[in-house]
Amino acid sequence: MTTILIVDDNLLNLELAADVLELADFDVITADSGHEAITKAEQIHPDLILMDLRMPEMSGLEAMLALHGNEATRDIPVAVLTASAMKGDEEHLLASGFSAYLQKPIDPSRFADQIAALLP
């Protein structure tokens, strides 16, 4: 079973992405903050993390860097899932350490295939 951790402070975004991936038979866990994401990643060690960027307290970038700096979670790929679509954002985020860049809003008809393609 492939486990995906979805991180987003917007609960509607979180539920939509989780529902789509559960229908595609992924094992889904969710977190609504960077701190919760780090705790769950350490405990459950998912195969892939989908990370929102704009969150209060700890941004998705900060959470990804913390995960990569943590021996228990550093090998888990972290893809960024963001509505941020400024020119240069994708290159900047990939250079920062995200394993992939996905744009919101998600397309429910394609999302599971997009995620499957990212799995190690």
CA pair distance 71, 119, nearest whole angstrom: 20
- C-beta of 50: minimal distance to Mg ion in Å? 12
Tell me how far, at minimum, the Cβ of 109 lies from Mg ion, in Å: 23
- Calculate the alpha carbon distances from 95 to 35, 79, 80 in Å: 23, 12, 12
Which two three-digit tokens encode residue 87? 């020119």
Q: Does 52 bind Mg ion (CB under 5 A)?
A: yes
Task: Pick the piece of the chain touching Mg ion (CB under 5 A) from 5-13, 35-43, 62-70, 90-98.
Answer: 5-13
Q: Do residues 51 and 20 lie in contact, with contact meaning Cβ atoms separated by under 8 Å?
A: no
Beta bridge partners of 82: 103
Retrieve residue 80's tokens.
């960024």
Contact between 54 and Mg ion per CB under 5 A: yes
Nearer to Mg ion, 92 or 109 (CB): 92
Q: Which stretch binds Mg ion (CB under 5 A): 37-45, 50-58, 65-73, 83-91?
A: 50-58
Binding site for Mg ion (CB under 5 A): 9, 52, 54-55
